[in-house]
Amino acid sequence: MSRAEPQFDELYREVILDHYRRPRNAGSLAAPTHQAEGANPLCGDEIELDVSIEGDVICEMAFRGQGCSISQSSASMMTERVCGGTVEEAHRVMGLFEAQLVESAEPDPALGDLEALHGVAKFPVRVKCALLCWKVLREALQTNDNEATATPKGG
Ligand code: ZN
């Protein structure tokens, strides 16, 4: 076994850096129905997520964040992947993504660009970075409309 750090495949690194440099769905929503935020103190990653759900469909998502390329690109890919689908589908993709990272499962084609992060499974410290936005999404989906809209926006 080589002692060298495993390297990301060049192609996957490109996908990750593209989402990091040009995050999809960055910003905030005017009237989110669900919101949550989270941090990964080990790395200094932060994610705030706005979600707008109508019926059982995730119509809109937007996130603000800072931190490493893994945490931010994961958030960008996540919003792109689950937006427009049902809440149930979001939970399904979440399960596939976690299996890919935590159990080193074979990437599922349903993951789309998120498959690019499968190499992170080789870096246990980085797994938390990749999963941060998903933890935030899970939390956001658990809040109800009243909680989200009743939260005062302070400065
Ligand atoms: Zn990180």
What is the pLDDT confidence band of residue 104, given thresholds at 50, 70 and 90? confident
pLDDT (0 to 100) of residue 150: 46
pLDDT tens, 9-27? 777 889 999 999 999 999 9
Q: Is-contact 59 86, C-beta < 8 A? A: no
How high is the pLDDT of residue 12? 83
Beta strands across the sheet bearing 57-66: 34-40, 45-54, 57-66
* Predicted TM-score (pTM) of this structure: 0.86
Ligand 1 centroid, distance to 55 Cα (angstroms): 33
What's the rounded Cα separation, in Å, for the pair 2 and 23? 35
Tens-digit pLDDT profile for residues 32-44: 999 999 999 999 9
Fold of 5-143: Sufe protein. Chain: A (3.90.1010)
Span from the CA of 56 to the centroid of ligand 1 (angstroms): 31
Asked if 91 contacts 116 with a C-beta cutoff of 8 angstroms, the reply is no
Lowest-confidence segment of 15-24, 94-103, 137-146 by average pLDDT: 137-146
Q: How far is the CA of 65 from the centre of ligand 1 (A)?
A: 11
54: CA distance to ligand 1 center in Å? 32
Give distance in angstroms: CA of 127 to centre of ligand 1.
8
Distance from the CA of 131 to the center of ligand 1, in angstroms?
10
Ligand 1 centroid to residue 137 C-alpha, Å: 17
